[in-house]
Structure 1
Amino acid sequence: MTTTSVSTSGNSAYASKSKSLYQIAWQQFRKHPLARLGMLILGLLYAMALFAPFIAPYTATEYISGEKRVSWAPPTNVHIRTPEGQITRPFIYAVTRETNFETFREEYVEDRSTRYPIQFFVNRPEAPYRLFGLIPMNMRLFGVSEDVRFFMWGTDNLGRDQFSRVVYGSQFSLSIGLIATIVSVALGMLFGGLAGYFRGWVDVIIMRFVEVLSAVPELFLLITLRALFPLDIDPRLVMYFIIAILAVIGWGGIARTVRSQLYSTRELDFVQAAQALGASDSRIIARHMLPTSLSFIIVAVSLIIPSYILSESGLSFLGIGLVEPYASWGTLLKVVQDGGFESITGRPWVLIPGVFIFLAVVAWQFVGDGLRDAFDPRKRQ
C-alpha cells in the first residue's frame, strides 16, 4: 500500500514538472475570470466581423432617397403584443416622417394599420455578397418585408442603417489592429534579434534608428503624409497606408525589449553549443534565441492591438483614416461630430460605435492582464 501511494505521488509530481511553460500558462490563464470574459467578448466581436455580410440586414452604404428618406430615424420599436393584447412573434410597424412645426424638427410616427413580422434567414437577391470573400450568397440573418425598413439602432444623417454600419465597421476596426500588430511584432523581433545577437555597430545603428522613430510625433507624421495624397484617392489605399505607417512607427519598443533579452541569452550554454556545431546566425536567432522571448511577445501582442484600434478610431474620427463611403467605428463616430451637440442629446444611438470601441479595448486589456499573470511565476495559483 505504501509503495503504491509513493509511486503514484511520484508519478503525479513528475507529470506536473514535465509540463511545458505554455501548458502551465494556459492553466493559469483559464483561472483568470476577467481574462475569460475578455476572450468571450473578443470571440463575439470577431465572429461579428467575420460574418458581417450575413448578420447585417443591409449593406453599409444602402439608403433610401427622396420622400421616403429616413435620416436620423430612431431605433425601430419591436412589438410582441398586438393591440388586442395577444402575444405573437416579434413585429414592427412602418413609420412616416412628419415635421413638427412647433420645434421645426422631423419626427417619425408609427403607422399601426399593418404589422410586419420580423423574419429570419431572409433572401435579398438585390444585395448579393461573398461570405469570407469566397462564397456567393444573398441571405441575411434577419429582416422584414421590403415595404418597410427595420432599423434596430436607428439611422445616420443619410438614412443608412446604424446596426449594419457598426457590423461592417467591425471588419476594418478589428482587422487593422491585428494586421498592424503582426507587422510591428515581426519587424521588432527581426531588428531586435539582429541588434541583440550581433551587437557592435549593428546594435548602434538599429537602436539609433529606433530613437529617431520614437522622437517623431505620430499624429503630425500621419497628417503630413496624408496631405501628400490627392483628395480623391481610394479610401482602401488609405487603409493600407494607415496600417503601414502604424506598423513602421510601432516596432521600436518591441525591438528594444527583444534586444535586451537576447543580450543575456547570447551567452547561455545552448547558444554557445549551437555556434560550436556550426549553426548559421539566422538559425541560432530564429530557432534558439527568439523563442526565449516568446512569452513576452504573446503578452505584448494582447496589449498592442487595443492601442492600434484606438489609433485607427482616432484617425478616422479626425478624417485622416478611412473615409466615406467605407465604414469603421471611427468614421461612424465622426457623424456625432458633424451632427453637433444635438447628436448627443437628441440622437444617442449614434454613440453606439463608441461602445464597441470600449468593449474591444477593455476585452484586449483583460486578456493581456490574464496572460501577464499566467506567465508570471509569482502569481501562479
Structure 2
Amino acid sequence: MSSDEEKRNAHFVDKAPFNPYERDALTPEQEKYYLASQWRLTWWRLKRHRLAYVSLIILAVMYASVFIVEFIAPYAQETRNSNFIHHPPQSIHLFHDGEFVGPFTYGTDFSVDMETLKPNYVPNMDRVDRLRFFCSGDDYEFWGLIKTDFHFVCPAQDGTLFVFGTDRLGRDMFSRIIYGARVSLTIGLVGITVSFFLGIVIGGAAGYYGGWVDATAQRVIEVIRSLPEIPLWMALSAALPVTWSPILIYFGITIILGLIDWTGLARAVRSKLLALREEDYALAARLMGAKPKRIVARHLLPNFASHLIASVTLSIPNMILGETALSFLGLGLRAPVTSWGVLLNDAQNINAVAVYPWLMLPVVPVVIVVLAFNFLGDGLRDAADPYKN
C-alpha cells in the first residue's frame, strides 16, 4: 500500500461517522425562542406590530383612567359655571411676554352681541391664571364612597380651565368627557361579556354535537342576523320603562347589545369546533371517558383562544358605537348618567353646532377608541397566526 492510500485510510478512520440528527448547540436567544409558549410568541409578534402596540398602550391608559376620573377631571361632573355659558375652548400656555411662567390660561372678558345675543369671550392678555396641580377643587365622592376635593389639576383661584369649552349650562366639556369614559368604555366590556358567553355556549354546542342542535342554532342566528341592527336596537331600547333608574337602564342597554352581537362569534366557534372535534386528541379524550363539557373547555377552546381574543377586540367597538348611537338618538342612556353618546345628544341641533362647534368634541374619543380597538384586533390576529414569523 502506497503512502497516499495509507493517508486516505487514516483520514476516514479518524473522522467520526456522519450523524444526520446531530445539531449545532443553540444560542441562548434561539433556546429562549424555541422553548417559549404560544402566548409569549404571540406577545413578541404583537410588540413588533407598532400600530397595534401603540393602540394597546392608548387603550390601557384610557381604561386605567376609568378608575380615577374624579381625580383627573378639573371640575366635578355637574359643576355649573353660570357666568361662562358656551365658553369656547381655552388654550394652555407656557410662556408670557417671552418668559417661562408654567402652564396657565389667560382670563377672558365677557360681552354680548346685541344683534345676535351671542356671548363673546375675548382673552385678556394681561391676566395670567396659573394652573394648580395636586390641589383642592370641587367636592366629589370618589366612587360614591369617599368624599374629597383632591384633583390632579385645578384652575387658578377665580380663574377658568375650559380646555374643551363649556355647554349650554356652563359645564366643562373636558371634565364631562372624562366622566363619560367610565360609562362608554365599560359598557363595551359588560356587553361583550354577555355576547362572549352566548357565543361560546351556543356556538360550542352547535359545533360539538351537530345534528338538530346545530340546525336549531343556525336558524336562530340567521333570523337575528336578518334583522337590521339599528332599528332592532331602537325598538328594544324604547321598550325599556322610563321609570327605571339610570343603573337599570345601563344594564338594560348592555344586555340588549350583548343579545344582538353574539351571532358572529357563535358562528366562528362552531366552524372551529366542527374541525377540531375530529382531531386525534379529541377522540382520545372521548375514549378515556371525558365529558363533552370538559373536552370543549379543556381541549378544543384553548386551541383557538388567541382567535377568540382577536374577535373580542374587534367586537368591543361595535358595543361602544351601539351605545353612542342609541344615546345620541335619545333611546339609550339618559341624564343624569354621563356618556359620550349622552354628551353628543346636545349636538343634534345643527344650528348650535354651527355656532358652538366644540359641542361635537365628544366624538373624538369615540373615534380614537374605535380605531385603537380595530388596529389592536388586526395586530392580535396577525400575532396569533402560527404560520407567520
Residue 119 of structure 1: aligned partner: 132
1:343 to 353, 358, 364: 353
2:75 to 48, 58, 71: 58
Task: Give the Cα separation in 2 of the matches to 1:241 and 1:315.
Answer: 12
Residue 86 of structure 2: aligned partner: 72
Task: Give the Cα separation in 2 of the matches to 1:215 and 1:152.
Answer: 44
Rg larger in 1 or in 2? 2
Residue 104 of structure 1: aligned partner: 117
* Match runs of 1:240-279 below 5 Å: 240-279=251-290
Aligned-residue offset at 1:13:
5.6
1:213 aligned onto 2:224:
yes
Task: Give the Cα separation in 2 of the matches to 1:307 and 1:198.
Answer: 30
Residue 71 to residue 275, structure 1, CA distance change in 2 (3 Å): same
Task: Give the Cα separation in 1 of the matches to 2:383 and 2:125.
Answer: 57
Residue 311 of structure 2: aligned partner: 300
Residue 30 of structure 1: aligned partner: 47
SS at match of 1:127: strand
2:361 to 349, 352, 355: 352
Identity percentage of aligned residues: 38
2:153 to 142, 153, 178: 142
SS at match of 1:138: strand
Task: Give the Cα separation in 2 of the matches to 1:79 and 1:273.
Answer: 69
CA RMSD, aligned part only?
2.6
The aligned amino acid for 2:295 is: I
1:195 aligned onto 2:233:
no
The aligned amino acid for 1:175 is: T
Number of equivalences: 370
Q: TM-score under structure 2 normalisation?
A: 0.87
Aligned-residue offset at 1:118:
1.0
Residue 110 to residue 203, structure 1, CA distance change in 2 (3 Å): same
Residue 42 of structure 1: aligned partner: 59
The CA deviation string for residues 85-135 of structure 1, in whole angstroms up to 9 with x for no partner, is 5432333344343211244321123456754321011123x512215x665
Could you tell me whether the CA contact under 8 Å between 1:236 and 1:322 is conserved in 2? no
Task: Give the Cα separation in 2 of the matches to 1:73 and 1:220.
Answer: 36
Could you tell me whether the CA contact under 8 Å between 2:327 and 2:334 is conserved in 1? yes
1:327 aligned onto 2:338:
yes
SS at match of 1:203: helix
Could you tell me whether the CA contact under 8 Å between 1:222 and 1:245 is conserved in 2? yes
Aligned-residue offset at 1:143:
0.7
The aligned amino acid for 1:300 is: S
The CA deviation string for residues 230-267 of structure 1, in whole angstroms up to 9 with x for no partner, is 43432332221110011011111111111111112112
Could you tell me whether the CA contact under 8 Å between 1:122 and 1:140 is conserved in 2? yes
SS at match of 2:348: helix
SS at match of 1:254: helix
Task: Give the Cα separation in 1 of the matches to 2:335 and 2:30.
Answer: 61
Q: Which runs of 5+ in 2 are unaligned?
A: 1-15
Task: Give the Cα separation in 1 of the matches to 2:29 and 2:274.
Answer: 37
SS at match of 1:369: helix
SS at match of 2:361: helix
SS at match of 1:51: helix
The aligned amino acid for 1:291 is: P
Residue 228 to residue 372, structure 1, CA distance change in 2 (3 Å): closer
Q: Which runs of 5+ in 1 are unaligned?
A: none
Q: TM-score under structure 1 normalisation?
A: 0.88
